């Protein structure tokens, strides 16, 4: 993007931000759902007026009903009291009950940990609870753990299950399996290469023939994914799902008619969506209808998300196919230059078109388009989808791609990859999501912001100052204790994956909330594990982020024991 484009901060209005915060901090107005209409209008249509933190506050306190709004107000007050207590500014804590109106109902379910049945059980749980406003708590059969810890592990395990390659949900390439690590553990134990879909660009729906059994299975899974992610947001959970930016654009843009993120740089701008250009074109619409030549193929009804994704998104999620389309487009441009050349005679144009060659990395240095033997079909990148090809038009496998119809082939292939081939999947996702709350609530956010809300910081970072300021040593440890300082040093030396494993072990989630350790509540508490020697391992109470750490003699022993403990599964021992 051009560096001269103004940043989003230039459009933020402090006055409007303060006014919106005043409105949502009024308990009576918020609890009765009597917010002025301008709050919702500006938040959805002009999100650039408010910083992310304010939009997230508005989302959290207005998206889930009156009972959630009341509890949100109480929670905000409790957090404020706790922060003033920690800083020593508060003298009283005994009056908090005076402001407590009620609490949300918690519904508890028990599921087996069995990996083969977990996804099926999770679907039944979400089908039952998608319409409930209560907080969902999960326990594992045969285990003693209750509360937040097992619930967060349930979400983590389901998130891992949804990344399975054999589900056929996500775009993947059989050639990429060899480049994956020998083993991978996303919380369900070590899995072989290719078990999960792991792509540098993130997860994006696989284009499928819309009337196929493979698509029927994917539709069911995407409906569940919609419910699952909506419950994640509703219950303030975090999951480690590496979605692609293109998929998140579909999630957060919904209806693009009034979405103006693109106009100010929050998303890449497309001149096709420019309101001024659209206005000018509408004035000449009748003339254009008369002058436009008839199209070679009829335009079908477009899905609600049509036009959101561009060729740049295809380059990100399917670079091999996108590069080939770019080479075809360059060939098409040369064709158009020949046809529009006034100097060439008709016979010369025919000869020039016949000699046009395609420069492609896939088929050698130079080749004619006809020599590639392309037809109007889409060839899947993996055998996991259980189909050999998808016709891009009626009897597409019988229609050869030539220099005459190459533009139509490019349009249809791009459409299948970004719209028509994923239409039922995205519709099912929206339907599932909307069973919990409206997907349109996410229109106020950019893809990166939605990722942060769903997944937290997927590359957790912390400094020595963060660890000293936002962890609480107690019951045998102080901030000056050698054992605690060794613990701090070990955490600083951890790799990215080790940090995620440590967070999964201590908090039940492999990500940090937006803002990092400073916004982790409850704070991570480290206490000395009594009657524990060098051979003992750390243990945790994930519900309150409580780490019981033996006093080891050196950092190497501490590191070995801590990393070994992070690999343990279940809640049999605390």
Domains in the chain, ordered, with CATH? 8-87 (no CATH), 106-255+425-455 (3.90.1750.10), 464-566 (3.30.2410.10)
pLDDT band at 302; cut points 50, 70, 90: confident
Note the pLDDT of residue 413: 97
Percent of the chain with pLDDT over 70: 82
- In angstroms, the CA 448 to CA 497 distance is 21
DSSP 393: S
Residue with the larger pLDDT of the pair 165 and 255? 165
**Own/partner long-range contacts of 116-122 (Cβ < 8 Å, ≥24 apart):** 118/157, 118/158, 118/161, 119/158, 119/161, 119/162, 122/154, 122/158, 122/161, 122/224, 122/228
Note the pLDDT of residue 269: 46
Note the pLDDT of residue 543: 80
- In Å, how far are 261, 337, 338, 351, 484 from 331, measured between CA atoms? 34, 10, 11, 15, 65
User: What is the side-by-side strand order in the sheet with 471-474?
Assistant: 471-474, 524-528, 546-549, 539-541
pLDDT band at 222; cut points 50, 70, 90: very high
Burial (CB count within 10 angstroms: exposed 0-12, middle 13-18, buried 19+), residue 377: buried
- Render the burial of 179-214: b for 16+ CB within 10 Å, e for the rest: ebeeebebbbeebebbbbbbbebbbbbbbbbbeeeb
Note the pLDDT of residue 303: 84
pLDDT band at 217; cut points 50, 70, 90: very high
Residues carrying an active site annotation: 543
Percent of the chain with pLDDT over 90: 55
How do residues 51-69 score in pLDDT, each as one tens digit? Answer: 999 999 999 989 988 788 8
Whether the pLDDT of residue 419 is over 80: the answer is yes
pLDDT band at 446; cut points 50, 70, 90: very high
Whether the pLDDT of residue 98 is over 70: the answer is no
Whether the pLDDT of residue 354 is over 80: the answer is yes
Ranges 225-234, 265-274, 313-322, 435-444: which has the least confidence: 265-274
Note the pLDDT of residue 74: 78
Note the pLDDT of residue 519: 82
Whether the pLDDT of residue 377 is over 60: the answer is yes
- Tokens, residue 115: 């990996």
Ranges 64-68, 87-91, 540-544: which has the least confidence: 87-91
DSSP 557: H
Residue 111, strand partner residues? 140
Which among 149, 259, 178, 222 has a CA at the least distance from the CA of 509? 149
- Tokens, residue 396: 């597409």
Cα torsion angle, 210, 214, 215, 216, sign: positive
Whether the pLDDT of residue 420 is over 90: the answer is yes
- Rounded to an integer, the average pLDDT of 140-155 is 86
Note the pLDDT of residue 282: 39
- Tokens, residue 457: 């910081």
Note the pLDDT of residue 179: 56
Q: What are phi and psi of 140, to 5 degrees?
A: -100, 135
- Tokens, residue 30: 């918020």
- Rounded to an integer, the average pLDDT of 423-427 is 97
Kindly write down the DSSP assignment for every residue of 19-81, as one continuous string: HHHHHHT-HHHHHTT---HHHHHHHHH-GGGS-HHHHHHHHHHHSS-HHHHHHHHHHHHHHHH
- Tokens, residue 129: 């609870």
- Rounded to an integer, the average pLDDT of 86-91 is 53
Q: How many CA atoms lie within 13 A of 36 on its CB side?
A: 9
Note the pLDDT of residue 185: 59
pLDDT band at 1; cut points 50, 70, 90: very low
* Mean pLDDT, the chain, integer: 83
Residue 170, strand partner residues? 205
């Amino acid at each position: 993007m051009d560096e001269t484009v103004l940043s989003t901060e230039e459009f933020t209005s402090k006055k409007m931000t303060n006014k919106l915060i005043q409105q949502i901090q009024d308990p009576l107005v918020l609890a009765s759902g009597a917010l002025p209409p301008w709050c919702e209008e500006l938040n959805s249509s002009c999100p650039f007026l408010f910083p992310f933190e304010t939009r997230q506050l508005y989302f959290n306190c207005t998206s889930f009903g009156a009972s959630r709004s009341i509890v949100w107000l109480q929670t905000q007050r409790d957090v404020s009291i706790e922060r003033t207590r920690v800083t020593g500014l508060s003298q009283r804590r005994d009056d908090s009950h005076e402001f407590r109106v009620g609490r949300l109902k918690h519904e508890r379910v028990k599921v087996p940990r069995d990996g083969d049945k977990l996804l099926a059980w999770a679907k039944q749980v979400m089908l039952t609870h998608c319409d409930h406003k209560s907080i969902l708590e999960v326990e594992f059969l045969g285990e003693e753990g209750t509360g937040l810890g097992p619930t967060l592990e349930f979400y983590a395990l389901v998130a891992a299950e949804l990344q399975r390659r054999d589900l056929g949900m996500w775009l993947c390439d059989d050639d990429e399996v060899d480049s994956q690590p020998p083993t991978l553990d996303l919380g369900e134990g070590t899995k072989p290469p290719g078990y999960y879909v792991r792509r540098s660009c993130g997860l994006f729906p696989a284009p499928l023939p819309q009337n196929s059994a493979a698509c029927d299975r994917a539709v069911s899974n995407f409906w569940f994914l919609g419910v699952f992610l909506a419950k994640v947001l509703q219950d303030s959970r975090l999951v480690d799902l590496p979605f692609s930016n293109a998929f998140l654009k579909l999630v957060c843009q919904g209806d693009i008619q009034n979405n103006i993120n693109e106009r100010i740089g929050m998303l890449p701008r497309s001149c096709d969506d420019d309101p001024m250009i659209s206005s000018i074109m509408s004035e000449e619409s009748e003339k254009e209808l008369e002058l436009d030549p008839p199209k070679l193929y009829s335009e079908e009804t477009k899905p609600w998300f049509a036009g959101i994704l561009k060729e740049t998104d295809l380059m990100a999620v399917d670079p091999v196919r996108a590069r080939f389309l770019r080479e075809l487009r360059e060939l098409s441009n040369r064709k158009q230059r020949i046809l529009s050349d006034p100097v060439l005679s008709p016979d010369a144009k025919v000869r020039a078109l016949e000699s046009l060659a395609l420069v492609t990395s896939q088929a050698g240095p130079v080749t004619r388009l006809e020599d590639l033997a392309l037809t109007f079909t889409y060839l899947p990148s993996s055998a996991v989808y259980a189909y050999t090809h998808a016709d891009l038009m009626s009897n597409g496998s019988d229609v050869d791609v030539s220099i005459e119809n190459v533009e139509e082939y490019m349009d249809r292939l791009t459409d299948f990859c970004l719209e028509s081939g994923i239409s039922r999947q995205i519709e099912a996702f929206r339907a599932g999501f909307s069973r919990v709350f409206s997907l349109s609530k996410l229109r106020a956010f950019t893809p990166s912001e939605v990722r942060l809300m769903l997944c937290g910081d997927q590359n957790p970072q912390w400094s020595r100052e963060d660890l000293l300021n936002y962890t609480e040593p107690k019951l045998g440890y102080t901030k000056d204790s050698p054992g605690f300082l060794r613990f701090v040093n070990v955490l600083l030396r951890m790799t990215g994956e080790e940090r995620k494993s440590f967070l999964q072990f201590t908090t039940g989630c492999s990500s940090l909330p937006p803002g990092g350790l400073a916004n982790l509540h409850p704070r991570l508490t480290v206490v000395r594990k009594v009657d524990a020697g060098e051979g003992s391992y750390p243990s945790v109470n994930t519900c309150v982020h409580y780490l019981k750490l033996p006093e080891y003699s050196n950092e190497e022993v501490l590191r070995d024991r801590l990393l070994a403990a992070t690999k343990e599964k279940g809640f049999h021992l605390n």
